[in-house]
C-alpha cells in the first residue's frame, strides 16, 4: 500500500513566514508527541522533540525542546538550526534547508558546500522515546565535524520556563556518549544517548526564545531553555556516516536506565526499529482498505486514516484507552471522544479500542454524567456538560450497529446507560433535568458552545438547547430497543412514553414557522431564532423528531447561511453577534469561538443530514462529496501537515485556527464519507435500527 508524502522544497522554502506556519506532529500512542515546524523553528510552547506523557495519557511534559546542529568545515561553522527571539531570528540555518518531507515521519535535508545532512525523526510506539537519525555525506576534500546540541526543558505543556524561577533542582551525569538529567520538580529523568561520536559537557542557558504563535494568541511566549552540552561526530572527506540520538523520559530513573540497557545503540538495529514503526503505520492503511475493499485508495484518504490513529491513546499498562481531543493542548474530553468514536474507531475497525474507551469513561460516570473532560494533570474530572452523556449513549448505538455486540453492552454498559437516563429524568445533576414537558432543561454553560469571558457565557444557551433535545430523544428511542432486547418490558414502555412526550413538545415549541428552521434555544419566555448549526444534529441522528419536509428545510437553511468549504459557521453572518475572524488574545478569540467561527466536525452531521433529506441518488452523493473534498484535499497541506485543524475563520479565505489536529475534525468527515457518500453502512445496522415498540402512554 502506497504511503502518502508531502514535500516542500525550492522556492517554497524561501517564504519564511509561510513555512513557519506549517507544522508537523508524530505521536506515540501514550499521549506524548514530537512536533515542530517545517523550518525546525519552534513557534509554540507546545512544540518539542520529546513531549512525554509521564502518567499516560496525562502529565504531558516538554522534555527535549529540540536538537540544534552545527557543521564545521575548514575554518567555518554553519548552523543548521533556527531560533527566534523578540527582535531577531538567529541563526538562519533555514538558508541551508533544501527540502522538508513528511511521509509517516518528518525528514529535513540540508546542504552546505559539498556536505549533505539528512535528519529523520520517529517515535517509539507506546514509549516516551524519540529517535533522531542523521545521515551525513561529505563530498568535500575537508574533514567535517558535526556538533549536535540537545536543548532541554522540564515543564508541563501549558507552561513556559523562566530560569530565574525554575524549581527543577537538576542533577546531570555524563557518559562517553550519553547524558542523564534528573529533575526533582517536576519529577522526571531524561536520558539522551548517541550511537557513536562523543559527548562533550558544555552547559549553558539559552534565554528569551520567542514563540510567535503564542504571542499571536496572547499567551506566554518567552522562554529559557537549557543546553546540556553537545555530541560530536567526525565525517572524513569523501565519506558518509550514519548517526542517531535516542532520547527517553520517565518519572522514574530506573525505567529510563532499563530502557537504555535494553535498547541497542547500534545504528543498524535502530534502522530495524525505524522500519518496524513504518510498518505499523502502513498496516493501518492496509487494514482500512482490507476492511473496505470497494474504496479506492487516495493519498488524502491515507492521510486521514493515519491522522485518526494519533488521537487514540492508552494508559501505561494498556488497560485503559481514551481520545486526545486535539493537539497540542486538549485533554481527553467526553463529548469529543464520543462524537469522534465512530470515525476514529468504528469505521476503521478498531472495536477493541472502542470497548476500552467505553470502560474507561464508565469508571468516571457520576450521577449519570459522563465527564466533560479528564484533566491532563492529577485533578478531578469536570462534569459541566449536559450532552457528553447523551453522546456516550449515541456512541454505544453506533458501536452496536457495527458489531452487534449486545452481550458486551448488557454486561458492561447497560447499568451505566440506565444511570444516564435516570440522572437526567430525576434531576440528580446540578443544573440539568427533564422538565414537565419531557424536554431537558439546563444551565447556560453546559452545551458544546461553552466559552466564558469574565465569568459570563459568551453564547448563553440556558433553557432547552435544540441539539440536547435531539440527543435526548435519540437516546430514549435507543434505550427502548435495548430494554426490549434485555427483556425489561416496563422500562421499554417507560422509555417509549418519555420519547413520545419529548417529541410532541419539541414539535410544538422548536419549529420556527416564519423562518422555516428550528429555534436554537427555547425557554419559558424566549425563543432564540439565531441561525446556528446545532439544529443539524436534530436531522442527522438515527432517531429524529421531525418529518421529511422540515428536515429538508433545515438542511436548506444551514446550507445557504452556514456552509463553507471547511465546515459550518457557528452563527449566520447577518447576526449582530457574528465575529468572522478568530484572532487576538483569549478574550477576543473566545468571543468568536462559537459566534461565526467555522468548525470542520460539523461537516459530518451536515453531510448525513443532507443525504437523509435529499435522498441518496448518485448526483446527490456527488454533491455531498464536494462538501468534504476541500477539507480533505486542501487543508492537509496548510497548517498541520496531513491533518485537519480545529477551527477556521468564518470569513474567506477561512484561515485555519486553533489546534493543528482535532479528533472530531478528522473523525466526523471520515465517517460521513464512508457511511453516507460511499454508502458503506454498518454491518448490523438493519438489525439494530428496527422500529421501536411504542406503548400505552398517558400524559
Specify whether the CB–CB gap between 607 and 627 falls below 8 A: yes
The CA distance from 162 to 148, in Å, is 24
- pLDDT value for 691: 55
Chain-centre distance of CA 111, in angstroms? 35
Would the CA dihedral through 609, 613, 618, 624 be positive or negative? negative
Helices and strands, number each (H, E), in the chain: 19, 39
Specify whether the CB–CB gap between 339 and 326 falls below 8 A: no
Note the CATH number of domain 6-270: 2.70.98
The CA distance from 35 to 23, in Å, is 7
The CA distance from 98 to 40, in Å, is 13
Neighbours of 76 (CB within 10 A): 10
Grid coordinates representing 25? 506532529
- Confirm whether pTM is higher than 0.75: yes
The CA distance from 556 to 531, in Å, is 12
469-528 pLDDT, tens digit each: 999 999 999 999 999 999 999 999 999 999 999 999 999 999 999 999 999 999 999 999
In the chain, where the domains are located = 6-270, 311-434, 460-561, 566-682
Q: What separation in angstroms does the CA of 661 have from each of 25, 134, 320, 636?
A: 9, 28, 22, 10
- pLDDT value for 593: 97
Question: Can you give 48-77 as a three-state secondary structure string?
Answer: EEEEEEEECCEEEEEEEEEEEEEEEECCEE
The CA distance from 638 to 406, in Å, is 43
The CA distance from 497 to 407, in Å, is 26
Specify whether the CB–CB gap between 375 and 459 falls below 8 A: no
List, for the chain, all residue ranges whose pLDDT scores fall below the cut of 70: 1, 691-699
The CA distance from 377 to 379, in Å, is 6
Grid coordinates representing 242? 550514519
Specify whether the CB–CB gap between 688 and 364 falls below 8 A: no
The CA distance from 245 to 243, in Å, is 7
- pLDDT value for 343: 98
Report which of 422, 400, 401, 395 is spatially closest to residue 410, judged by C-alpha positions: 400
- pLDDT value for 376: 82
- pLDDT value for 697: 52
Specify whether the CB–CB gap between 169 and 184 falls below 8 A: yes
Q: At 132, is the secondary structure helix, strand, or coil?
A: strand
The CA distance from 334 to 376, in Å, is 13
The CA distance from 71 to 232, in Å, is 10
Q: What are phi and psi of 417, to 5 degrees?
A: -60, -45
- pLDDT value for 1: 67
Amino acid at each position: 500500500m502506497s504511503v502518502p508524502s508531502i514535500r516542500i522544497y525550492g522556492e517554497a522554502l524561501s517564504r519564511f513566514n509561510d513555512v513557519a506556519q506549517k507544522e508537523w506532529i508524530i505521536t506515540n500512542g501514550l499521549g506524548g508527541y514530537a512536533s515542530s515546524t517545517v523550518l525546525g523553528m519552534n513557534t509554540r510552547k507546545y512544540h518539542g522533540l520529546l513531549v512525554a506523557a509521564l502518567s499516560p495519557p496525562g502529565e504531558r511534559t516538554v522534555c527535549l525542546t529540540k536538537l540544534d546542529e552545527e557543521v564545521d568545515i575548514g575554518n567555518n561553522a554553519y548552523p543548521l538550526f533556527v531560533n527566534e527571539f523578540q527582535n531577531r531570528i538567529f541563526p538562519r540555518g533555514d538558508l541551508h534547508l533544501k527540502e522538508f518531507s513528511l511521509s509517516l515521519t518528518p525528514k529535513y535535508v540540508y546542504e552546505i558546500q559539498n556536505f549533505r545532512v539528512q535528519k529523520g525523526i520517529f517515535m517509539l510506539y507506546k514509549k516516551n522515546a524519540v529517535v533522531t537519525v542523521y545521515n551525513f555525506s561529505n563530498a568535500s576534500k575537508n574533514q567535517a565535524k558535526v556538533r549536535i546540541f540537545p536543548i532541554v526543558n522540564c515543564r508541563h505543556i501549558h507552561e513556559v520556563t523562566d530560569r530565574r524561577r525554575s524549581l527543577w533542582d537538576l542533577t546531570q551525569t555524563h557518559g562517553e556518549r550519553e547524558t542523564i538529567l534528573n529533575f526533582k520538580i517536576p519529577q522526571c529523568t531524561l536520558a539522551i544517548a548517541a550511537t557513536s561520536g562523543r559527548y562533550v559537557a558544555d552547559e549553558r542557558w539559552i534565554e528569551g526564545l520567542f514563540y510567535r504563535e503564542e504571542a499571536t494568541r496572547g499567551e506566554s511566549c518567552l522562554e529559557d531553555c537549557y543546553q546540556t552540552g553537545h555530541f560530536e561526530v567526525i565525517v572524513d572527506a569523501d565519506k558518509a556516516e550514519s548517526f542517531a540520538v535516542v532520547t527517553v523520559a520517565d518519572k522514574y530513573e530506573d525505567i529510563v536506565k532499563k530502557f537504555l540497557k535494553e535498547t541497542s545503540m547500534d545504528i543498524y538495529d535502530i534502522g530495524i526499529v525505524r522500519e518496524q514503526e513504518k510498518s505499523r503505520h502502513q498496516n493501518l492503511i492496509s487494514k482500512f482498505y482490507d476492511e473496505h475493499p470497494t474504496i479506492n485508495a487516495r493519498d488524502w484518504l491515507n492521510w486521514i486514516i493515519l491522522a485518526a490513529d494519533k488521537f487514540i491513546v492508552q494508559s501505561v499498562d494498556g488497560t485503559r484507552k481514551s481520545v486526545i481531543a486535539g493537539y497540542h493542548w486538549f485533554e481527553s474530553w467526553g463529548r469529543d471522544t464520543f462524537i469522534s468514536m465512530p470515525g476514529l474507531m468504528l469505521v476503521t475497525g478498531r472495536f477493541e479500542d472502542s470497548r476500552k474507551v467505553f470502560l474507561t469513561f464508565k469508571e468516571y460516570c457520576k450521577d449519570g454524567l459522563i465527564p466533560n473532560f479528564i484533566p491532563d494533570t492529577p485533578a478531578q474530572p469536570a462534569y459541566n456538560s449536559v450532552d457528553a452523556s447523551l453522546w456516550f449513549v449515541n456512541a454505544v448505538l453506533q458501536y452496536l450497529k457495527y458489531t452487534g455486540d449486545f452481550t458486551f453492552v448488557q454486561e458492561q454498559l447497560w447499568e451505566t446507560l440506565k444511570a444516564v437516563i435516570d440522572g437526567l429524568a430525576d434531576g440528580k445533576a446540578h443544573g440539568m433535568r427533564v422538565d414537565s414537558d419531557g424536554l431537558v432543561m439546563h444551565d447556560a454553560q453546559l452545551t458544546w458552545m461553552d466559552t466564558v469571558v469574565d465569568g459570563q457565557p459568551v453564547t448563553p444557551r440556558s433553557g432547552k438547547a435544540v441539539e440536547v433535545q435531539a440527543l435526548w430523544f435519540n437516546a430514549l428511542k435507543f434505550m427502548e430497543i435495548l430494554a426490549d432486547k434485555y427483556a425489561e418490558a416496563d422500562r421499554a414502555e417507560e422509555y417509549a412514553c418519555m420519547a413520545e412526550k419529548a417529541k410532541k413538545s419539541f414539535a410544538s415549541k422548536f419549529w420556527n414557522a416564519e423562518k422555516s428552521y428550528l429555534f436554537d434555544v427555547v425557554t419559558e419566555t424566549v425563543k432564540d431564532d439565531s441561525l446556528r448549526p446545532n439544529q443539524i444534529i436534530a436531522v442527522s441522528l438515527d432517531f429524529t423528531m421531525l418529518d421529511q419536509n422540515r428536515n429538508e428545510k433545515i438542511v436548506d437553511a444551514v446550507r445557504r447561511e452556514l456552509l463553507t468549504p471547511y465546515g459550518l459557521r457557528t452563527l449566520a453572518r447577518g447576526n449582530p453577534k457574528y465575529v468572522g475572524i478568530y484572532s487576538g488574545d483569549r478574550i477576543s478569540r473566545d468571543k468568536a469561538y462559537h459566534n461565526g467561527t467555522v468548525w470542520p466536525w460539523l461537516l459530518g452531521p451536515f453531510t448525513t443530514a443532507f443525504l437523509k433529506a435529499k435522498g441518496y441518488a448518485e448526483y446527490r452523493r456527488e454533491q455531498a462529496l464536494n462538501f468534504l473534498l476541500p477539507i480533505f484535499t486542501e487543508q492537509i497541506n496548510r497548517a498541520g501537515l496531513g491533518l485537519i485543524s480545529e477551527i477556521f475563520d468564518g470569513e474567506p479565505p477561512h484561515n485555519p485556527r486553533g489546534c493543528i489536529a482535532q479528533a472530531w475534525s478528522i473523525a466526523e468527515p471520515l465517517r460521513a464519507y464512508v457511511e453516507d457518500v460511499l454508502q458503506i453502512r454498518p454491518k448490523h445496522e438493519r438489525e439494530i435500527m428496527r422500529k421501536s415498540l411504542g406503548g400505552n402512554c398517558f400524559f
